[in-house]
Each structure stands twice: as C-alpha cells, then as structure tokens.
Structure 1
Amino acid sequence: MTACRSICFYTPSTDPSGMGAHMVDLIAEFAGTADVALMMRPTVGGRRLLDRAAELGARTVELPSPRDPGFSAVVSDSLVTSPADVFHCHVGTGCEDWDGVRLARRAGCPAVVQSQHLPYLVSSPRKRRAFHHAIEEVDRLIAVSEGLRRTYSRIGVPPERLTTVPNGVAPLADRIGREAARAALGLDPRQPVVLTVGRLTHMKGQWHLVDAVPGLLGRFPDLAVVLVGDGPLREALEKRAAGLGVGGAVRFPGHRGDARQLLAAADVFVLPSRHEGLPLVALEAMEEGLPVVGTRVIGTEEVVEDGVTGALVRAGDPAALGAALARLLADPALRRRQGDAGRRRYLAGFTRERMARDTAAVYESVLRGALW
C-alpha cells in the first residue's frame, strides 16, 4: 500500500468518535506493510481505539494529558526510540492542542501530515491566527471532503498545502440480518423503522428529527424512530419526545458497540446534522444498502445524491425532513432503488481501500519533497 517504513498516528482528541474509526481503518490498511503506531490518551473512547489498534498489530503509546509535565517526554522518547517516516495527526475543528505536531517536527520526522475532520467554522480572529501559527509545522493538510477543504481555503491556507482525501469505510464483515437487528432493538419485524446513529449533540441535529415525528406518526402510526448513541442531549431529547406525545415511538438504545450491525433494522437511515466533515455513518448506511435522508450541509451533500441515493433537505427544517422520510416510508420500491444506488455509489468512491491508497499517495508526495 505504501513505501513508508513507519507511520505514527496521533490525535489530541479525548473523544475521537468517527475520527477514531477513520484512524483505525488506516491502521488496518497499513499495518501489513509498515510499522504502525498509535499515540493518544487512554480515555474511555481512546482505550477502545488503542485496544483495537493493538489487535491490528500496531504499537500503542498511551499519552498523559498535554498539561502533564511528562507529556513531551512520552511523545519525544517514543519517536526517538521508534522513528516515524510519517507523523499523521488527526484533529476535528483545528482548535485542539498541537504539541504532538511540534514534538514530531523536533524529533526529525521527515513528513508531518494533518487530517482535518471538521469544517473551519470558527469566527474568532485570535483562534484563526493560532491555527495558522500551528500549521507552520505541518507539511500537508488533508481535508476529508471538498466542502471542508474550501472552508480552510477561505481562511487563507495555501491550496498547495491542502489535499482532499474523502473518507471511506470497510465493508461490514459480520452482518446479522434484519430480523436479528430488530430483535436486538426490541422492534417488531413488520413495523416501519427510521434509524440514525451518532452522539446526541447539537451538531448532529437530532432535535429536528424528534420534531418531525408527530407528523410522521399521523401517516405511519406504528413507526419507530431509533436514535442510537449517547451524549449530552439525551435527557433533553427524551423530554422533548415525551412532551410532543411521541415518547413511545422514539427509542433511545444508548451507545451500542454493534451500532453498525443494527443498521440492518432500518427501512430508512436519517442524518439530520447541522454540519459534518464527511459522515462515516452515512457511508456505512449506503454500504448496507439503505436510502439516506440527510441535510444539505458540508460533507453530507457530497455523499448523498439527492433523488438518487436518498434525499437532501435544508438543515433545521423538521417539516422537510419529515416529508422526505414519508416519501421513502410509503414506497418500498423507491427505498430498494435508492438503497441499491447508494451501495453502488459507496463501492465506486467511498471504500476504505481507496481512502488508504489516496492517503498513502499524500505520504509519498511529502516524503519525496523531504528528500529533495
């Protein structure tokens, strides 16, 4: 896959979520051809990723908090003991701690690459200046979608320093099927099911999905709307559903390690986000053969082809979201047609293998420049 002898993945995030899954997917692709390491903090989410990386054959380095006096020594000593050709940092908005990147440069890593997983939507001039100062140590920035890349171009990142490598996901290896997935969620085999997966946060927009449910129940009285995931808005969302009189139809199974397998329970997948980078869960739903109803926001609009693989609606519009879901719930043939088209779209452009190949090309480009 890559001629790099060694790659060190690093994130300062304490809750890497989809970004962490992206990193593990790259580790899975590269571990057979290069010495691969993962550096991150062993938080609850971080621990899961460190353990998975170790299972894949990667060397893992558990980091203390960047505020810990020993942080620099742990990073530097690891890079001296096991030098990396490529140090690949992964961040969300770009506002996280940057010490890992600076330490990698000081340790002499020939290529320092950074993936941006969320669009730059920060308005503070001070934070913008801090961002530009921080990326002085980075050879190349990778944007996970074209729309995301444009947000960094708008704040003055030179185009030659930005490369777009769209996200990809691996095919699901252990499917359990519709009946088992519904049983696992306590759903009736015959009822219509709309499902979403993600942290329960303002960014993911589940509030608008809950607000669409009363209208949907008028047409589909036995509908189940399943919000897989947990987060700071769970209690508020549960209260909102109860207040609207739809508490029995809206299900909150919480965080599930088998979330991807549970996609098989759905008739329609929905992603009501306010913004994204490039949503892995939409790719997973397409790989499962589900039509996807999403919002017309950065990332999602590059995944969902409106009217072909699902539907795109304005963010923050429960009525439009409900109408798009109703069209699909009422038409099994349309669901099958759009679900099949989504799977073909996934296979053509959003596989893990393609993502890893394009990422390796970025590594090689930077390393060639480092040798000149």
Structure 2
Amino acid sequence: MPVHILEKRFRFDPLTFVRLRRLLHQNQPDVVQSFLFSANSYVRFPGVCPSGSKIVVAERCVDSWKSGWQLRIDRWLSNRMDVMTANSESVAEFYRSVVGVDEQKISVISNGVLPPSTTATETANAPDLRTELGLPPDTPVLGFAGRLAPQKCLNDLVWAFHLLHQAVEGSALVLVGDGPQRDQLAEFAESVGCRSRVFFTGHRSDAAQLIPQFNAFCLPSSFEGMSNSLAEAMAAGVPVIASDIPANADLITNEETGLLVPCGESVAICKAAQRILTDNNLAKSLGEKAQQVIQSKYSVEQMVTSHIELYERMAGADR
C-alpha cells in the first residue's frame, strides 16, 4: 500500500490543506479515516475530501484540555463527517454533550488490547524489573505506566505511596514513562521523604513486559479516553486501582475487576493499594476477573472486525 507523507510543518499549515486535497481528489477513496484534532479538522474542512468519500473521524480522549478556539473549530465541524468513532462511552458522551455531535453519527469502538507476552522467547528475554532496580525479588511494587503529565495526577500517587510505604514494609513505587513532570515528581518525593523508594524508568519500549511484574497498578488520572496502560495491566492479570472518572469506570467494575477511588484522594489510593498488597486472595481475584473481561470484550480482533464492518458499511452506503 503506498504511503504519502504530507510534511506538515506547523499546527495549521495551508500547504497541508492543498497537498491533502490534491492527494484525496487524485485517489477518490471510498472512505477517509482520520485520528485526533489536527487530522480530524483537516479532512472535515470544506472541499478537502471528494464529494463521494465517506469521512470517518476518530476521537480517543475526553478532551477537557482543549482550548476555546479548538472547541469552536470542533463545534463548527461537528457534523461535517459521516461517522465519529469513540474508544469509550465517556468519550462519546463528551462529544455529544460538549461539542454537539449528533448521537446518530457516533460509533463506539473500544481499543484492542494485545495479550501479555506468553512465548518462551519473550518470557526469557523480559527484563527482571526488581533486579534492574536493585530491589529484592519479593519487593511489593506499586506501578504506573504512561506519560508523566498533570492529567495523570501523579502527585496524588506519590503522596499515597508516602503513606503506603510506612504501612507496607519494603514496598516500592515504579513509574514507567517520561514527561514534563518527571523532575517535579522526583522533587516532591524527596520533599515528603520517600524518594529512595520511588523509581523512574524513563521511556521504555519494553513497558508491556514490565507491567506484568507489578503487584498492583494505579492510574489516578483526572481524565482519560480509554487508557491503554490500564487495559494492558488488566490483560496481564495485575490488580488495578484507578480514579473513578467515567472512562475508568467503563473498564472497571469496582470491587470485582479492580478498585475505583475518588479522583484526587491520596488516602483512598493508599488504602486500596494496601488492601491489594496485603491480601493475596483479593489481588488474585481482581486480577483474574479483570483479565477475563479484557480477553472477552477488548481483543484486537474485535476492534479490527468492528472497523472493517464500519468501512464496508460506509463504502456501500450509496451503492
């Protein structure tokens, strides 16, 4: 399949409109699929797509971060497409209620989650997280994987761990990923007295092999779409703790497939983590049930099939 690079230079590059329009009109595609704000705006701009092409735009997050001008563009273009796909019910509700997208034009297709590595080669090549960090093999690890950014509310997690490590002897907090808050989080951990037990791995291409080594996974975010890292932890059978925002509640049934806690409440995070790290039966039950849910409802095969069915329906709509 040919790949064309448009060489977009900045946020709204007029030449990109021209190049994209020329390319689409030359190829006359049955369906044009775009992802996220910039691409979604380009393809919906009048005249860019051929009149016979069906436009499918995809949104992946409850975009409360968007500025006023971005929301105005979204609202102006809100119904200049045939379908908007959302990866969770919470994302669909945001674009219905805040942006004003016609409910009939929204289709929810959840992210597909790959199963954890299971082959002998992958298992043998997986790095041993505790050895790498200089920790004893029986260290209780509370972990996070993702971007170290304000949205993730990681100060709440660090403060929760400050309380937790006094109750669960020898425990460690491992933050996999990088982002603008890394230095600030390290300084905060130092200020509350737990820096020696908080470990930053930086960006890791092997994050999927590290997550299964956590004893518990925590995602305290203030907003999400459908968190891949949360779903990956559940797929690996790692018991999870997450803020009770709509996107996380879409994935987790509280006390059955994970523990939901009020957003911003470090004490609640600490208590939930302590329950998991000190109750093997609870940890095993939460992890197994979460794994079953991901395998049955969020497979890559289901995601691919849903997209193929959507494209076939769009391509054949006027035939």
TM-score of the superposition, structure 2-length normalised? 0.89
Q: Distance in 2 between matches of 1:351 and 1:301?
A: 18
Task: Pick closer, same or farther for the CA change 1:109–1:316 going to 2, 3 Å.
Answer: farther
Q: Distance in 1 between matches of 2:277 and 2:123?
A: 23
Aligned match of 1:328: 276
Counterpart code for 1:253: T
For the aligned residue pairs, the C-alpha RMSD in angstroms reads: 2.5
Q: Distance in 2 between matches of 1:69 and 1:129?
A: 19
Q: Distance in 1 between matches of 2:56 and 2:39?
A: 15
Aligned match of 1:197: 145
Counterpart code for 2:152: K
Counterpart code for 1:168: G
Return the match for 1:78 from 19, 23, 43: 23
**1:162-218, CA deviations, whole angstroms, 9 ceiling, x for partnerless residues?**
111122212234643787243344432111001110111111111100011121111
Q: Distance in 2 between matches of 1:65 and 1:298?
A: 35
Aligned match of 2:102: 158
Shift of 1:129: 3.6
Task: Pick closer, same or farther for the CA change 1:336–1:323 going to 2, 3 Å.
Answer: same
Return the match for 2:179 from 231, 235, 241: 231
**1:32-77, CA deviations, whole angstroms, 9 ceiling, x for partnerless residues?**
xxx5x7xxxxxxxxxxxxxxxxxxxxx3525322544532343234
Task: Pick closer, same or farther for the CA change 1:187–1:79 going to 2, 3 Å.
Answer: farther
Shift of 1:137: 2.6
Q: Is the 8 A contact 1:225 1:250 kept in 2?
A: yes
Counterpart code for 2:21: S
Shift of 1:125: 6.5
Shift of 1:242: 0.3
1:171 aligned onto 2:118: no
Task: Pick closer, same or farther for the CA change 1:109–1:180 going to 2, 3 Å.
Answer: farther
1:213 aligned onto 2:182: no
**1:248-267, CA deviations, whole angstroms, 9 ceiling, x for partnerless residues?**
11111111111111112211
Q: Is the 8 A contact 1:89 1:101 kept in 2?
A: no
Return the match for 1:352 from 300, 304, 309: 300
Which structure 2 residue ranges, 5 or more long, are not aligned? none
Which structure 1 residue ranges, 5 or more long, are not aligned? 1-34, 38-58
**1:253-289, CA deviations, whole angstroms, 9 ceiling, x for partnerless residues?**
1111111111122111111111100111111111111
Shift of 1:126: 5.6
Return the match for 1:363 from 304, 311, 317: 311
Aligned match of 1:133: 76
1:64 aligned onto 2:12: no
**1:61-106, CA deviations, whole angstroms, 9 ceiling, x for partnerless residues?**
2532254453234323433454432221111xx4777224437843
Task: Pick closer, same or farther for the CA change 1:240–1:125 going to 2, 3 Å.
Answer: closer
1:247 aligned onto 2:195: yes
1:81-160 equivalent positions in 2, closer than 5 A: 81-91=26-36, 94=37, 98-102=41-45, 105-108=48-51, 110-121=53-64, 127-155=70-98, 156-160=100-104
Shift of 1:365: 2.8
Aligned match of 1:31: none
Q: Is the 8 A contact 1:216 1:326 kept in 2?
A: yes
| Count of residues in Structure 1 that have an aligned counterpart in Structure 2 | 313
Task: Pick closer, same or farther for the CA change 1:337–1:138 going to 2, 3 Å.
Answer: same
TM-score of the superposition, structure 1-length normalised? 0.77
Counterpart code for 1:258: D
